[in-house]
Amino acid sequence: MSSSPDSITLKSNRKACHRARDLFFECYDKNNANQNKCRLELKEFEKHCPASWVQHFMRKHKFEKYKEELTKEGLLSDKDAPSRA
């Protein structure tokens, strides 16, 4: 089964988006959630990902961090903690 040019383009765009997302969140976490220190990474993230994806990934990241904090405080059991697959 061969891939169509459109599916190849979509796959490469998705990979670029995920790479930009990962670089942004790496910077963001390293700088204690100070988005101002990660302006370039955020710009690339927004450039390579659809706005709805950026919004989704930001919300998901914030929620995962919240769950991690609850787990550290003992308010959430490890089995309910975010998975890191």
Q: How many DSSP H helices and E strands does the chain contain? A: 3, 0
Q: What is the residue-level pLDDT of the chain in tens, covering all 85 positions?
A: 456 767 778 899 999 999 999 999 999 999 998 999 999 999 999 999 999 999 999 999 999 999 998 988 887 676 655 555 4
- The pLDDT score that the predictor gives to residue 6 is 78
Nearest alpha carbon to residue 49 among 27, 84, 23: 23
Measure the CA–CA gap between 73 and 85, rounded to whole angstroms.
22
pTM of this structure:
0.75
Q: What is the pLDDT of residue 71?
A: 87
